[in-house]
Amino acid sequence: MRCGAVMWCAVLASLLVAGCATVPGAVGTEPGSMSRPLADQSPVSEAENRARTHVDLGMAYFELGRFDVALDEARIAMDNVAGHAPAHHLMGLVYMMLGEAAAARANLEQALRAAPGDPDFNNSYGWFLCTQGQEREGLARLSSAARNPYYRYGSRPLTNAGLCHMRLHEVDAAEQQFLRAFELDPQNAQALLQLAEIAYGRGNFELARTRLVRLHQQMSPTAASVWLGLRTERRLGNRDAAASYESQLRGRFGDSPEFQLLSQGKYE
């Protein structure tokens, strides 16, 4: 995924340190300011209602990986309402996924100029900054989104903040964010997978296994979770369980990077 290890290709869902300092850059707004998400506010005109419909449709296509259609829907939305902030946000997400950083930044910043306190926008821009080597600025944005009392998806910026801390090799701080995200949303698979990875990295293989079992009770295994399970069971000396994971990796994820690591015997 070009935007990095992010939990929300299916909704950018996914994902705090500083909260009230002004973030440097072109936006020029304080991430500490908060407001209700524009998505939760009623349209004020028929044109805005049409624009929202196209943004919603574009987001559905975005989640399906149809980025071309998502961009078309965003442009139609802006034909109805010039400078429509949610449309710029959607375009920013698409360009982020396509690895077009300049276009992603421009659109996300345009959305934030119109609605600097919107938690969805701050979450997306915060993660974007984390992927661009601006982790501290990104964490401030993610903190703002996570603290917003109007935001129904607070586990997303917390998860993204954890991933951002991981990029800085701040494992303890990352763990705290993942734990908070999981407390808010026990169905947060990305947070749970990351907590299992952290437990494995610390040599706590039993805890890693417990978290993986819970994860696989909630969702279908992925190449990453199967690979972690295989390595965990090997560490615990559970040959049958490790062989089961290996069979899954070979049979279901034969084109994955994890399978290549298995083929090369690179378990660590």
The mean pLDDT value for 43-49 works out to: 82
Q: In this predicted structure, what is the pLDDT of residue 11?
A: 34
The mean pLDDT value for 16-36 works out to: 44
Q: What is the DSSP string of the chain?
A: -TT-S-S-TTTS-------SSPPPSSS---TT-----GGGSPPSSHHHHHHHHHHHHHHHHHHTT-HHHHHHHHHHHHHHSTT-HHHHHHHHHHHHHTT-HHHHHHHHHHHHHH-TT-HHHHHHHHHHHHHTT-HHHHHHHHHHHHH-TT-TTTHHHHHHHHHHHHHTT-HHHHHHHHHHHHHH-TT-HHHHHHHHHHHHHTT-HHHHHHHHHHHHHHS---HHHHHHHHHHHHHHT-HHHHHHHHHHHHHH-TTSHHHHHHHTT---
pLDDT in tens, 50-63: 999 999 999 999 99
Burial of 210 (0-12, 13-18, 19+ CB in 10 A): middle
Cα distance between residue 106 and residue 110, in whole Å:
6
pLDDT in tens, 179-235: 999 999 999 999 999 999 999 999 999 999 999 999 999 999 999 999 999 999 999
User: Which long-range contacts does 59-67 make (Cβ < 8 Å, 24+ apart)?
Assistant: 59/11, 59/90, 62/90, 62/93, 62/94, 62/97, 63/10, 63/11, 65/9, 67/94, 67/97, 67/98
pLDDT in tens, 141-155: 999 999 999 898 999
Domain assignments of the chain as residue spans, ordered by start: 1-172, 186-268
- Look up the CATH superfamily of 1-172: Tetratricopeptide repeat domain (1.25.40.10)
pLDDT of 35 strictly over 80: no
The mean pLDDT value for 82-99 works out to: 96
- Look up the CATH superfamily of 186-268: Tetratricopeptide repeat domain (1.25.40.10)
Between 23-32, 80-89, 157-166, the lowest mean confidence (pLDDT) is in 23-32
Q: What is the mean pLDDT of the chain?
A: 88
pLDDT of 64 strictly over 60: yes
Q: In this predicted structure, what is the pLDDT of residue 2?
A: 42
- Fold: same for 1-172 and 186-268: yes
Between 41-45, 104-108, 182-186, 203-207, the lowest mean confidence (pLDDT) is in 41-45
Give the pLDDT band (50/70/90) at residue 135: very high
Q: In this predicted structure, what is the pLDDT of residue 26?
A: 40
Q: In this predicted structure, what is the pLDDT of residue 31?
A: 58
The mean pLDDT value for 52-75 works out to: 95
Q: In this predicted structure, what is the pLDDT of residue 20?
A: 27
- Residue 6 three-state SS: coil
Residues 6+ apart with CB under 8 A from 82: none
In our burial notation (b when 16+ CB lie closer than 10 A, e otherwise), range 83-121 reads ebbbbbbbbbbbbbbeeeeeebbbbbbbbbbebbbbbbb
Give the pLDDT band (50/70/90) at residue 38: confident
